[in-house]
Amino acid sequence: MSESPLDAAYPGTLDCVRCGLCSQACPTYLETGRETSSPRGRIYLMRGVAEGRIPLGDTVVEEAYLCLGCRACETACPSGVQYGALLEQTREAIESAGLRSGAGPWLERTMLRHLVAKPVRLRLALTLLGIVQRLRLDRLVVRWLPSAVRDAHALAPVVPPRPERRRLPEHTPARGPRRGRVAFLEGCIMPELFGHVNRAAVSVLAAAGYDVWVPPTQGCCGALHAHSGDGEFARGLARTNLTAFDLADVDAVIVDSAGCGAALREYDRWLPGDGDALAARVRDVCEFLDEVGFDVPLAPVRKRVCYDDPCHLVHGQGVEAAPRRLLGRIPELELAVHDDPTSCCGAAGIYNLTHGEMSRAVLDRKLDALVAAEPEVIATGNPGCLMQLRAGAEARSLTVEVLHPIELLAQSVFRNRDGL
């Protein structure tokens, strides 16, 4: 067999026995009904390219990027196919071959490389966006812009005031008896748009007895870059974080963004040998608190809450029960079950910007299930999911809050106390 751009992915494609159990878990297959839009069909395309039977051309490109990368197929697969890795390798081969042209892919790569991964530039851009939003200038001009831009505007979160975007202190001491020390990934999007979630996470960790260290030289985890096919750039970001996180005196590396956590946990695959130690220490904040035994006194939170699983937490990291157990500990909080908790909401990184129609179709399924459960709060642990579900709820005029689970836990821990 001649050398193929998908040689690296080929061994993994052979694990697929074509049973088809993944199909009903795949959002794009459920929407299109096309075999090529199922995980099994996409793996067949990957294998065909690797074996020289199928060209690395338009069909492979279309299906590789139509996939949300939610990895629900991994949970459904009885053979343990590592579909997320195969998808990243396929997209990297496509990018290396220069098969995605035009303004869209160029803008995507430029923004991910030169804005998202650059904290100073990202902060400046969001500061300017915040000014535009507060002056309502965006509403004046958006109606005259193309529909794709209007759709993107509808998804844009409100940029918090500058004081709410302050960075975390490098060291936060434990409250009460000290149980250990953890490192915390602040992230790139989280401090700018969800700084309150980061502060809630650190405050709850400290209340649980942990010193929290936020490495000052840490950077973007590289998840969005890897998902877009820019693997070498993602690996460069990973190397920066390997240098930033000294693991000698920490019990775990804590993350409150599911996508970032899944990426860090795969540094052992991105950087074999070098990334193994960091990958092994990564824990989602809810997972960690559940593991160590969270016994802080809790005040009642009288709300009906639906927990919705972020794909890269439940499928990418295998964390499903821990957030529910933590929420279940809060007095008087009613944890309601809805019919579709582990399916994708359609955010998928920047998928809701690049594939708006499919993203909205996937979101509609999710919202139908949530609305039927009549929650007062939707809880989910990933920034993209938070933004997507908030935008969907607003579009349907739903009177519901969309919060990170750690925010609810912080409300319970610090009610009537000066904690946040």
DSSP 23-61: GGG-HHHHHH--GGGSHHHHHHHHHHHHTTSS-SSHHHH
Q: Cα separation of 192 and 26, whole Å? A: 32
What pLDDT is attached to residue 101?
Answer: 83
Q: For residue 240, what are its two tokens? A: 């920066």
Residue 154 has pLDDT above 90, yes or no: no
CB 299 within 8 A of CB 207: no
Residue 303 has pLDDT above 60, yes or no: yes
Residue 419 has pLDDT above 50, yes or no: no
Residue 1 has pLDDT above 60, yes or no: no
Percent of the chain with pLDDT over 90: 87
pLDDT in tens, 233-252: 999 999 999 999 999 999 99
What pLDDT is attached to residue 396?
Answer: 94
Tell me which DSSP letter residue 213 carries: E
CATH code, 296-414: 3.40.50
Cα–Cα separations (whole angstroms), residue 92 to 2, 70, 223, 232? 19, 17, 13, 9
Which 3 state secondary structure label does DSSP give 323?
A: helix
Which 3 state secondary structure label does DSSP give 210?
A: strand
Q: Which residue has the higher pLDDT, 151 or 347?
A: 347
Sheet holding 171-172, edge to edge: 171-172, 210-213, 180-184, 253-255, 282-284
- Using the structure block, give the residue that is written with the tokens 């067949």: 44
Q: What angle do CA 258, 89, 232 make, to 5 degrees?
A: 80
Percent of the chain with pLDDT over 70: 95
- Using the structure block, give the residue that is written with the tokens 């009885």: 78
CB 38 within 8 A of CB 25: no
Residue 333 has pLDDT above 90, yes or no: yes
Domains 10-96 and 164-291 equal at CATH topology level: no
What residues does each domain of the chain span?
10-96, 103-159, 164-291, 296-414
Q: Cα separation of 69 and 316, whole Å? A: 10
Fold of the domain spanning 164-291: Rossmann fold (3.40.50)
What pLDDT is attached to residue 42?
Answer: 98
Q: For residue 298, what are its two tokens? A: 């809790």
What pLDDT is attached to residue 3?
Answer: 61
Question: Is the model's pTM score more than 0.85?
Answer: yes
Lowest mean pLDDT: which of 25-29, 148-152, 252-256?
A: 148-152
* Region at 232 (left for phi over 0; alpha for psi -120 to 50; beta for the rest): alpha
Residue 80 has pLDDT above 60, yes or no: yes
Q: For residue 168, what are its two tokens? A: 């975390």
pLDDT in tens, 282-300: 999 999 999 999 999 999 9
Mean of the per-residue pLDDT values of the chain? 93
Residue 305 has pLDDT above 80, yes or no: yes
**Which segments within 270-381 are labelled E, that is strand?**
282-284, 304-307, 334-336, 377-379
Residue 37 has pLDDT above 90, yes or no: yes
Residue 150 has pLDDT above 80, yes or no: no
Residue 143 has pLDDT above 80, yes or no: no
Residue 6 has pLDDT above 90, yes or no: no
Max CA separation in the chain (angstroms): 68
CATH code, 10-96: 1.10.1060.10
Q: Cα separation of 61 and 46, whole Å? A: 10
Q: What is the mean pLDDT of residues 21-28?
A: 97
Backbone φ and ψ of 299, nearest 5°: -95, 160
Lowest mean pLDDT: which of 34-38, 100-104, 413-417?
A: 413-417
